[in-house]
């Protein structure tokens, strides 16, 4: 049976931490009959919300992994991806956005647009995701949807247009006025499931008229018919307004704003209606893949169920039955029993079971068409792999993956744990490209690295809970790097010609800073002073030297090594001899080339009440931070700064006590900068001391 | 060294020395022009000149966000350092950006007590000690004289230099009624011939650094002062 693609919506629910994403999703599942009881995120019943499927998430009351779930509203298939709100899990958010067609951006009616919302909004813009806004928590003291709408316009630079006004606010919130239909909607019953429509309360009529004017003004920009109808006077047809708003939203030029309180069961059904009305169906979005057979030429995918299959594995989970792979199909049909190709590995994969996920429960299906988000069982792949049918070779465009900035050593508590830890690490690195692991050959420690303290903490917790692998974690370490600052020459002879077979090689040339890239090798040897077969040995020798800089033992980046002179011996020169000569040459040149230690600098944005501005700035200053600027908005101040990562450990505790818990901060990698001269010796001494201890 | 070159080549450096050779006194300055001729660019160049001399500057932006203000500095820096390597520019930028702090206000919330409170916060904690403030984006048509008088008092009391920008809608600076409160007034004027040239005219300078009527030229593409 062919599905009507018009009746599919793939949406993400995305926002700042603690603005109520999980609660909203929970309510959506309740109203769409997917669950039969509502459990709160931090509820007293101890069950937790359905979307927070990992125990850890339930315990902390935050969403870590985006669980995909399916529901049906008014005859439409809706796939929902619940996305994490903390900046440390940004890769999850970005990956989710890649496969979505539209998104609901949730904002708190009190907190408004906070820094993480800005990041998420930027990501949505990058992936051209049409969005609608839901201003949640209108039942909270201090709720002010108008202020938040102003912030959306100002801070997110979006053309926000209110579609509703609240009936009552804070504790008195009972419903909303729908500005399209000009009717009051009340949510009644224990769980807000009884919807009652009524006339607009008299005291709100004037405000409703004024806001409707604004809505018509904004919507008429996208429809000549609507404009004409408004100019003609009389009643403006509802469907004309809705289609104009839809057009503006899909063109990313308008963002309809809805309000409510998921926790108090107000406004959720109207939001679901708006997802159907204003967010795009899969075929309204253009998706592009790279044709690997045709020099990576960009190709627009067709959304045709009969076209060759293209689907993207965007998320992996390890369940009781093995690996569960979430895929989004873009074109073609995925059918149980089909053989498809993983275009990264070239391997054939047979589809065993195909399921539609509802958080932890699943529904077996036989076929998935374009636009579907489903899960496959037992498919070995990594996150971000593209699967196609055998007759084409395409890849969805690569995703932007930031480099990890923090690492720590982990040790299993016993041998049994060691196996489980390896399994866990193997799984996590496949699931999350920003989480990496390797073994330090000198200390034998297993090192994990990622995007922040919380990022690594969560994985360590997950090892314990999901794999029964308890590990001892060392103190977090900053991923320092080394580089050179000036050109320096080298001329090194490696000579060992006493007894047995000898070794001889001389390498001359220079090294210089490389503006872009990590390493470059340039061969300017003329006249064969270094024989052809040993040129690559020199390259190998230099590459090996890059792993561990002579300054403090950190990887060396940004170096160009040029060889232009040398000497060889007809018998004693060998691959090894030239590798050793190049290593010696590198060492000789390195210290003359002004080596410096580089540290990751983070962009830190702190938001808090203005009264704490002085204290917050002081705390940044104490951490070698540079304040880029401050932004005052009413009683709130946003302070943008750049702070070395090494100074940021434990900052959340400091900030909490400094501001009575009223301020919060986000942190993301900005760039590498040299460690200031005044403290570089101390830093190196500290690093060496730590290594010696091991 | 790039930093020294940039200092030496900056035509706006003339405002640092009085005709008698002494350092110029702190001043209240104003740059006026019709919209889009480069007022912000002039303020940024005045700020950059201070920053290159290792003097701290507070850039107060009314109604513009931090990112946009910061990019003004990046763009002007790239334009005045044409010919230098990317590496050299980055090194100077890293060094001098510590001498700048951007503070953004809503038009409605900007006033002297608030600004003074913020400044004192920074100075007392030894976080930042500006010698120059540039205040960009204040709508002179909407503010009353009291605010400017307040700022004048503050400038005298704190011995800071404060530079403002103001939009005029006609060719004549007479549109701004409060010119008497300023020591220096510069005006950006397009060339009468309509060939895209822009001039920076010194309308008034009571600090004795520049003769009234002195004209500098602006590159209309980069908005950098040529001299």
Provide the mean pLDDT of chain B.
Answer: 85
The beta-carbon neighbor of A513 closest among B69, B87, B114 is B87
Separation between Cα atoms, residue A151 and residue A447, nearest integer Å: 42
CATH class of A288-396: mainly beta
Does position A49 have pLDDT exceeding 60, yes or no?
A: no
Q: Which CATH number fits domain A598-693: 3.30.70.240, 2.60.40.680, 3.30.559.10, 3.40.50.150?
A: 3.30.70.240
Does position A44 have pLDDT exceeding 70, yes or no?
A: no
What fold does the segment set A406-474 form as a domain? Alpha-Beta Plaits (3.30.70)
CATH class of A485-594: alpha beta
Contacts A627 to B, Cβ<8 Å:
101, 127-128
Measured CA to CA in angstroms, residue A403 lies from A460, A479, A647, B63 at distances of 19, 10, 19, 35
pLDDT for res A597: 92
Model confidence at A562, pLDDT cuts 50, 70, 90, reads very high
Give the mean model confidence (pLDDT) for residues A72-96: 69
A521-548 tens-digit pLDDT: 999 998 889 999 999 999 999 999 998 8
Separation between Cα atoms, residue A164 and residue A418, nearest integer Å: 56
Query: How is residue B163 written in tokens?
Result: 């530079």
The CATH code that applies to domain A5-174+256-284 is 3.40.50.300
Which has more confidence, A94 or A357? Answer: A357
Q: What angle do CA A675, A677, A682 make, to 5 degrees?
A: 75
Does position A119 have pLDDT exceeding 80, yes or no?
A: no
Give the mean model confidence (pLDDT) for residues A495-510: 85
Range from A364-373, A584-593, A666-675, B34-43 that averages highest in pLDDT: A584-593
pLDDT for res A398: 57
Measured CA to CA in angstroms, residue A140 lies from A135, A264, B118 at distances of 11, 10, 31
CB contact A610 to B (< 8 Å)? no
Asked whether the beta carbons of residue B127 and residue A618 sit closer than 8 angstroms, the reply is yes
Query: How is residue A99 written in tokens?
Result: 């496969």
B143-168 tens-digit pLDDT: 888 889 999 999 999 889 999 999 88
Does position A63 have pLDDT exceeding 50, yes or no?
A: no
Which has more confidence, A68 or B43? Answer: B43
Query: How is residue B18 written in tokens?
Result: 């009085």
Phi, psi of A351 (to 5 degrees): -80, 115
Give the mean model confidence (pLDDT) for residues A146-153: 90
* Mutation for A interface: B121, B123, B134, most A CBs within 10 A: B121
Separation between Cα atoms, residue B54 and residue A574, nearest integer Å: 55
pLDDT for res A595: 92
**Strands A310-319 vs A386-388: parallel, antiparallel or unpaired:** antiparallel
Separation between Cα atoms, residue A8 and residue A78, nearest integer Å: 6
Contacts A626 to B, Cβ<8 Å:
97-98
Model confidence at A93, pLDDT cuts 50, 70, 90, reads low
Chain B nearest-CA distance from A499, in A, is: 49
Placement of tokens 């060998």 in the chain: A574
B84-111 tens-digit pLDDT: 877 788 888 888 988 999 998 877 778 8
Which has more confidence, B80 or A400? Answer: B80
For B85, which residue in chain A has the nearest alpha carbon? A515
Asked whether the beta carbons of residue A627 and residue B104 sit closer than 8 angstroms, the reply is no
Separation between Cα atoms, residue A601 and residue A406, nearest integer Å: 11
For A614, which residue in chain B has the nearest alpha carbon? B121
What are the structural domains, with CATH classification, of chain B?
Answer: 2-218 (3.40.50.300)
CB contact A413 to B (< 8 Å)? no
Range from A82-86, A192-196, A368-372 that averages highest in pLDDT: A368-372
Range list of β-strands (E), A497-558: 503-513, 519-523
Name the strand (E) or helix (H) holding A366. Answer: none
Separation between Cα atoms, residue B17 and residue B88, nearest integer Å: 28
pLDDT for res A39: 57
Separation between Cα atoms, residue A620 and residue B98, nearest integer Å: 13
Query: How is residue A190 written in tokens?
Result: 């224990």
Does position A64 have pLDDT exceeding 50, yes or no?
A: no
Does position A651 have pLDDT exceeding 60, yes or no?
A: yes
DSSP state string for A307-327 = SPPEEEEEEEEEETTEEEEEE
pLDDT for res A19: 66
DSSP state string for A209-223 = HHHHHHHHHHHHTT-
Chain A nearest-CA distance from B109, in A, is: 8
Model confidence at A58, pLDDT cuts 50, 70, 90, reads very low
pLDDT for res B55: 92
Query: How is residue A415 written in tokens?
Result: 């041998």
* Furthest-apart CA atoms within chain A: distance in Å: 106
Give the mean model confidence (pLDDT) for residues A356-373: 79
Model confidence at A442, pLDDT cuts 50, 70, 90, reads low
Provide the mean pLDDT of chain A.
Answer: 83
pLDDT for res A476: 79
Give the mean model confidence (pLDDT) for residues A361-365: 79
**Strands A8-15 vs A102-108: parallel, antiparallel or unpaired:** parallel
Kindly tell me the sign of the dihedral angle through the C-alpha atoms of A311, A317, A323, A324: negative
pLDDT for res A268: 87
Asked whether the beta carbons of residue A629 and residue B101 sit closer than 8 angstroms, the reply is yes
Tell me what percent of the residues of chain B surpass a pLDDT of 90. 26
| Same fold: A288-396 with A598-693 | no
Of the candidate ranges A176-185, A451-460, A573-582, the one whose mean pLDDT is the lowest: A451-460
Asked whether the beta carbons of residue A630 and residue B104 sit closer than 8 angstroms, the reply is yes
Give the mean model confidence (pLDDT) for residues A58-82: 66
Placement of tokens 């500098």 in the chain: B216
Asked whether A376 and A324 are in contact (CB, 8 A), the reply is yes
For A486, which residue in chain B has the nearest alpha carbon? B87
Ranges of each domain in chain A:
5-174+256-284, 288-396, 406-474, 485-594, 598-693
Asked whether B30 and B186 are in contact (CB, 8 A), the reply is yes
pLDDT for res A269: 86
A598-629 tens-digit pLDDT: 998 988 888 888 888 889 999 998 899 999 99
Asked whether A373 and A10 are in contact (CB, 8 A), the reply is yes
Kindly tell me the sign of the dihedral angle through the C-alpha atoms of A58, A60, A66, A70: positive
Model confidence at A484, pLDDT cuts 50, 70, 90, reads very high
Give the mean model confidence (pLDDT) for residues A208-233: 89
Placement of tokens 């763009």 in the chain: B75
Contacts A121 to B, Cβ<8 Å:
none
Task: Classify the complex by whether its ipTM is higher than 0.90, answering yes or no.
Answer: no
* Mutation for B interface: A615, A629, A631, A670, most B CBs within 10 A: A629
Taking the CA atoms of chain B, what radius of gyration do you get in angstroms? 17
Give the mean model confidence (pLDDT) for residues B46-69: 90
Does position A596 have pLDDT exceeding 60, yes or no?
A: yes
The DSSP symbol for A12 reads E
For B66, which residue in chain A has the nearest alpha carbon? A629
Name the strand (E) or helix (H) holding B178. Answer: none
Separation between Cα atoms, residue A649 and residue B43, nearest integer Å: 38
Asked whether B52 and B20 are in contact (CB, 8 A), the reply is no
Asked whether the beta carbons of residue B122 and residue A617 sit closer than 8 angstroms, the reply is yes
Give the mean model confidence (pLDDT) for residues A444-457: 82
Model confidence at B59, pLDDT cuts 50, 70, 90, reads very high
Tell me what percent of the residues of chain A surpass a pLDDT of 70. 88
Separation between Cα atoms, residue A163 and residue A182, nearest integer Å: 10
Separation between Cα atoms, residue A145 and residue A173, nearest integer Å: 12
Does position A45 have pLDDT exceeding 60, yes or no?
A: no
A287-329 tens-digit pLDDT: 888 887 777 778 888 888 888 999 988 877 766 667 788 888 9
CB contact A692 to B (< 8 Å)? no
Name the strand (E) or helix (H) holding A577. Answer: helix A575-592
Of the candidate ranges A502-511, A562-571, B68-77, B216-225, the one whose mean pLDDT is the lowest: B216-225
Placement of tokens 């920009």 in the chain: A221
Asked whether the beta carbons of residue A632 and residue B127 sit closer than 8 angstroms, the reply is no
**Strands B161-167 vs A334-335: parallel, antiparallel or unpaired:** unpaired
Does position A1 have pLDDT exceeding 50, yes or no?
A: no
Separation between Cα atoms, residue A505 and residue A488, nearest integer Å: 20
Asked whether A396 and A324 are in contact (CB, 8 A), the reply is no
Asked whether the beta carbons of residue A631 and residue B66 sit closer than 8 angstroms, the reply is yes
Separation between Cα atoms, residue A484 and residue A558, nearest integer Å: 7
Does position A60 have pLDDT exceeding 50, yes or no?
A: no
* Mutation for A interface: B57, B99, B125, most A CBs within 10 A: B125
The DSSP symbol for A556 reads B
Neighbours of B124 (CB within 10 A): 10
Separation between Cα atoms, residue A273 and residue A275, nearest integer Å: 5
The DSSP symbol for A445 reads -
Asked whether A550 and A590 are in contact (CB, 8 A), the reply is yes
Which residues contact residue A540 at a Cβ distance below 8 angstroms, ignoring those fewer than 6 apart?
Answer: A575, A579, A582
Separation between Cα atoms, residue A144 and residue A147, nearest integer Å: 6
């Amino acid at each position: 049976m062919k599905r009507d693609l018009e009746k599919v919506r793939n949406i993400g629910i995305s926002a700042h931490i603690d603005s109520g994403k999980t609660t909203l999703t929970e309510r959506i599942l309740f109203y769409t009959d997917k669950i039969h009881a509502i459990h709160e995120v931090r509820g007293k019943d101890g069950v937790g919300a359905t979307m927070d499927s990992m125990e850890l998430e339930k315990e902390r009351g935050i969403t870590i992994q985006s669980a995909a779930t399916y529901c049906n509203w008014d005859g439409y298939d809706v796939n929902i991806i619940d996305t994490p709100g903390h900046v440390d899990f940004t890769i999850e958010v970005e990956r989710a956005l890649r496969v979505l067609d539209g998104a609901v951006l949730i904002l708190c009616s009190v907190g408004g647009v906070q820094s993480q919302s800005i990041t998420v909004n930027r990501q949505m813009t990058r992936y051209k995701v049409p969005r609608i806004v839901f201003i949640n928590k209108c039942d909270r003291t201090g709720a002010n949807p108008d202020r938040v709408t102003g912030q959306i316009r100002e801070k997110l630079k979006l053309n926000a247009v209110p579609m509703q006004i609240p009936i009552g606010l804070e504790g008195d919130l009972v419903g909303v006025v729908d500005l399209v239909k000009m009717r009051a909607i009340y949510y009644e019953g224990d769980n807000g499931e009884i919807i009652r429509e009524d006339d607009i309360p008299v005291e709100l009529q004037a405000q409703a008229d004024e806001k409707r004017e604004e809505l018509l003004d904004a919507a008429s920009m996208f429809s000549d018919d609507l404009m004409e109808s408004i100019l003609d006077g009389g009643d403006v047809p509802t469907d004309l307004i809705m289609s104009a708003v839809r057009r503006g939203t899909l063109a990313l030029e308008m963002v309809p704003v809805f309000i409510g309180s998921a926790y108090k069961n107000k406004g959720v059904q109207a939001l679901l209606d708006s997802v159907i009305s204003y967010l795009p169906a899969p075929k309204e979005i253009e998706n592009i893949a790279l044709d690997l057979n045709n020099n990576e030429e960009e190709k627009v995918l067709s959304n045709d169920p009969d076209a060759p299959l293209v689907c993207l594995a965007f998320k992996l989970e390890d369940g009781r039955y093995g690996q569960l792979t979430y895929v989004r199909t873009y074109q073609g049909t995925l059918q149980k029993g089909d053989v498809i190709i993983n275009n990264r590995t070239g391997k054939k994969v047979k589809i065993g079971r195909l399921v539609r996920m509802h958080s932890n429960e699943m529904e077996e299906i036989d076929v998935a068409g374009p636009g579907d988000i489903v899960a496959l069982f037992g498919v070995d792949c990594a996150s971000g792999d593209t699967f196609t049918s055998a007759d084409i070779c395409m890849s969805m465009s690569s995703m932007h993956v930031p480099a990890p900035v923090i690492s720590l050593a982990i040790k299993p508590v016993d041998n049994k744990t060691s196996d489980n830890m390896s399994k866990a690490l193997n799984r996590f690195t496949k699931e999350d490209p920003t989480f990496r692991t390797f073994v330090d050959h000198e200390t034998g420690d297993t090192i994990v690295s990622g995007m922040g303290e919380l990022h690594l903490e969560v994985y360590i917790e997950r090892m314990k809970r999901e794999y029964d692998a308890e590990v001892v974690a060392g103190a977090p370490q900053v991923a320092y790097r080394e580089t050179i600052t000036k050109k320096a020459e080298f001329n090194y002879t490696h000579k060992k010609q006493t007894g047995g077979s000898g070794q001889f090689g001389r390498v001359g040339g220079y090294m210089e800073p490389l503006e872009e890239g990590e390493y470059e090798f340039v061969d300017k040897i003329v006249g064969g002073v270094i024989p052809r077969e040993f040129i690559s040995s020199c390259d190998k020798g230099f590459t090996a030297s890059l792993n561990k800089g002579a300054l403090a033992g950190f990887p060396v980046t940004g170096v160009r090594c040029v060889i232009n002179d040398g000497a060889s011996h007809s018998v004693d020169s060998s691959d090894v001899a030239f590798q050793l000569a190049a290593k010696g040459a590198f060492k000789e040149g390195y210290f003359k080339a002004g080596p410096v230690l580089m540290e990751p600098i983070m962009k830190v944005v702190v938001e808090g009440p203005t009264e704490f501005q002085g204290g917050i700035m002081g705390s940044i200053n104490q951490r070698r931070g540079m304040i880029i600027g401050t932004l005052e908005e009413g009683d709130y101040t946003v302070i943008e700064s750049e702070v070395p990562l090494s100074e940021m450990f434990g900052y959340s505790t400091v900030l909490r006590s400094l501001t009575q818990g009223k301020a919060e901060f986000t942190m993301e990698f900005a760039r590498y900068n040299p460690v200031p001269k005044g403290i570089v010796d101390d830093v190196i001494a500290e690093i060496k001391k730590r290594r010696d201890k091991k | 060294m790039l930093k020294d070159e940039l200092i030496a080549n900056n035509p706006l450096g003339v405002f640092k020395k009085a005709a008698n050779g002494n350092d110029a006194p702190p001043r209240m300055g104003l740059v006026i022009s019709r919209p889009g001729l480069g007022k912000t660019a002039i303020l940024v160049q005045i700020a950059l000149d201070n920053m290159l001399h290792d003097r701290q500057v507070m850039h107060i932006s009314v109604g513009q966000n931090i990112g946009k203000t910061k990019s003004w500095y990046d763009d002007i820096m790239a334009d005045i350092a044409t010919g230098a390597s990317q590496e050299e520019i980055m090194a100077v930028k890293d060094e001098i950006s510590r001498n700048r702090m951007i503070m953004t206000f809503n038009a409605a919330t900007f006033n002297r007590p608030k600004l003074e409170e913020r400044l004192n916060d920074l100075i007392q904690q030894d976080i930042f000690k500006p010698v120059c403030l540039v205040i960009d984006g204040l709508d002179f048509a909407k503010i009353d004289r009291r605010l400017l008088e307040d700022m004048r008092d503050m400038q005298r009391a704190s011995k800071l230099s404060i530079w403002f920008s103001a939009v005029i809608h006609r060719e004549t600076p007479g549109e701004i009624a409060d010119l008497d409160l300023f020591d220096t007034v510069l005006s950006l004027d397009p060339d009468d011939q309509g060939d895209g040239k822009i001039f920076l005219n010194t309308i008034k300078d009571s600090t004795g650094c520049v003769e009234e009527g002195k004209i500098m030229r602006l590159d209309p593409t980069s908005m950098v002062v040529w001299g």
